[in-house]
Amino acid sequence: MQKAIEKRLQEGMYPVRQVTDLKDILNSSAELFGERTAYLYKERLGGDYLPISFRQVRDDVNALGTALLDEGLSGMRIGVTGENRYEWVISYLAVANGLGVVVPLDRELPAHEIAALIDRAELSALIYSSKVEQKILEALPLVEKPVMLISMDSERRQGQTLSLSELIQSGRRRIAEGKRHFIDATVDPEKMNMLLFTSGTTGLAKGVMLCHRNIASNIYNMSKYVDLTVRQGQQIGLSMLPMHHTYEFTCTIMASFYQGATIAFCEGLKYVVKNMEEAKVTYIIAVPLVFENMHQKIWNQAEKSKKADKMRTAIRMIRTLSHIDKKIQKRTMRLFKEVHAALGGHVRLMVAGAAPINPAVINDFNAMGITMLQGYGMTECSPIIALNPDWCAKAAAAGLPLPETEVRISEPDENNIGEIICRSESVMLGYYKDPEETANVIRDGWLYTGDYGYFDKDGYLYITGRKKNVIVTKNGKNIFPEEVEFYLNRSPFIGEVVVTGETDEDTGESIVWANIFPDREAILEQKGALSEDAIRALLKGEIDRLNEEMPFYKRVKRFRIRETEFDKTTTRKIKRW
């Protein structure tokens, strides 16, 4: 297997520069790319995008860090929360690059959970946006110790609340006077400077401790597989996933800055296509739900315009020819110009992660002239573990292990499926104040991911499901709910589904249940107005049809219909429990 991986990689990894920490990335990118645009932001909703250069980013980070040191925050833990925006980025970097420990907080959390995390993380200060101000004010009375507040939006100090803008101005003056204590501060790449809380309720959320080495090595190695600049000049990405999540911050924000690409800040999910067109976005790094929604809308429109059959024929032809000539897909954009126009007109690359994606979505976008691939990772690995190189991707695979990352399958079964474990410079330092759980997941330097998977003959990694979700039958068969969900999601009438194993009271056997949220809009469009009994009969027919594609022991035996969507994390993953 290792030889197969090496052979693939000999086909050509992208040249990259060695970096040791985020401060190194900030300074080296500022020197390399200078006045090139690093970020596109808006001063108001619906306004024009305005540019910020790489050099200005470095200068603003240095100014803010200098001012925060002057406020006595050296070595402190500082939270950052709010929507995706420029001030969020420079706050994170100012804290992490020579000040203390940055603690990104999910802006969707209710006030009592924000308060609990402030106490758990022992925050001394919190930088926040006006959109979460009310929740912050509600959380403060519940916090044990005083917390310094810093507003991203106030132009000047309001009582005890400091202004981020004023702090940056103050820092600039101090630097002009010769104050270099922040600029010259050294970063220990092995020390915890980032504390990230995983998704889940506060009681279950784990505090993941990361250091500069973790994130810098992840950026360095993923950049060998995927080129965000496409070697044709500056490219533009869209930041739409929550920045408190390491997938968005490492892969979209920092990898783009490292490679010299531009990031435009999205105004919100309902403005995605509008912002893509305005900013001339050429690549998107997001979760499967975003791409699957785009894919579904494209096909819905094709059906309405009576062009779906022609599109299917063209895609089949392109996929057949691409086995002969890999460049065929790059020449097909003209055939799908309406699809490209619906996505802003400039998109060339899509990268999916954080959850499994239907390979059919990847195959379709590739055939339409948009390179699409997926990767696999987790917060505990900063986050990328495996990634498809953009020159030799497999649609159904999570990818090849990142360079300088060892991945093994622990205790494989007869199908060579077992728990995925990995070892690399990106593996976390451990869980915050939880040595027992740290020892449980990191053993002899190997991170036990809790995910099951296998390698194919070419060394590509495939994910079959979460260890804790596995349904075990009486005869010892393992059923991965995610695999069954993959089949059920092929139905146009199933909007969302979660598969569970429930014990039959009579036999004691584990029964496969499907919990379904129907796509009532699709049902209405294709079947007309149906009664609830008719909808149930339609879904039963779909389950029976899709069951035929699965081994008998994996088939869905019972199902129930939900009236509401499943609860989701802020990265749009369904909360299973």
What is the domain-level CATH number for residue 515?
3.30.300.30
568 domain-assigned: no
CB 7 within 8 A of CB 389: no
If DSSP codes are grouped into helix, strand and coil, which group holds residue 224? coil
Total Cβ atoms within 10 A of residue 532: 9
Same domain, 455 and 552: no
The residue from 445, 467, 489 where one domain ends is 467
Which residues have a Cβ under 8 Å from the Cβ of 132 and sit 6 or more positions away?
Answer: 81, 82, 107
The pLDDT of residue 227 is: 92
Same domain, 295 and 260: no
C-alpha Rg value of the chain to the nearest Å: 24
The pLDDT of residue 540 is: 93
Same domain, 388 and 258: no
pLDDT in 10s for each residue of the chain, 577 residues: 455 556 656 667 899 999 999 999 999 999 999 999 999 999 999 999 999 999 999 999 999 999 999 999 999 999 999 999 999 999 999 999 988 999 999 998 889 989 999 999 999 999 999 999 999 999 999 999 999 999 999 999 999 999 999 999 999 999 999 999 999 999 999 999 999 998 643 346 889 999 999 999 999 999 999 999 855 566 999 999 999 999 999 999 999 999 999 999 999 888 999 999 999 999 999 988 889 889 988 988 888 888 888 888 888 888 877 655 556 656 677 778 889 999 999 999 999 998 888 899 999 999 998 999 999 999 999 999 999 999 899 999 999 999 999 999 999 988 899 999 999 999 999 999 999 999 999 999 999 999 999 999 999 999 988 777 777 665 556 787 888 888 898 899 999 999 988 877 777 677 889 999 999 988 998 899 999 999 999 999 999 999 988 878 788 999 999 999 988 776 667 776 5
- Measured in degrees and rounded to the nearest 5, phi and psi for residue 128 equal -145, 160
Number of domains in the chain: 3
273 domain-assigned: no
CB 53 within 8 A of CB 80: no
278 domain-assigned: no
The residue from 234, 265, 296 where one domain ends is 265
Same domain, 299 and 408: yes
Same domain, 231 and 96: yes
Same domain, 390 and 538: no
CB 146 within 8 A of CB 109: no
The residue from 450, 467, 484 where one domain ends is 467
Same domain, 259 and 308: no
Same domain, 391 and 483: no
CB 179 within 8 A of CB 154: no
Rounded CA-CA distance 497/366 in Å is 26
Rounded CA-CA distance 446/155 in Å is 48
Q: Which domain holds residue 521?
A: 470-561
* Torsion angle (degrees, nearest 10) of CA 77, 79, 84, 85: -70
Same domain, 429 and 544: no
The pLDDT of residue 329 is: 59
If DSSP codes are grouped into helix, strand and coil, which group holds residue 451? strand
271 domain-assigned: no
Q: Residue 150: which CATH number?
A: 3.40.50.12780
576 domain-assigned: no
The pLDDT of residue 174 is: 97
Q: What is the DSSP letter of 14?
A: P
Same domain, 92 and 112: yes
Rounded CA-CA distance 53/37 in Å is 4
305 domain-assigned: yes
13 domain-assigned: no
The pLDDT of residue 202 is: 38
- Which bin fits 168, alpha (ψ -120 to 50), beta or left (φ > 0)? alpha
Same domain, 29 and 59: yes
Output the pTM of the full model: 0.84
480 domain-assigned: yes
Same domain, 309 and 239: no
Q: Is the CA virtual torsion 323, 326, 328, 330 positive or negative? A: positive
Q: What is the DSSP letter of 475?
A: T
CB 556 within 8 A of CB 513: yes
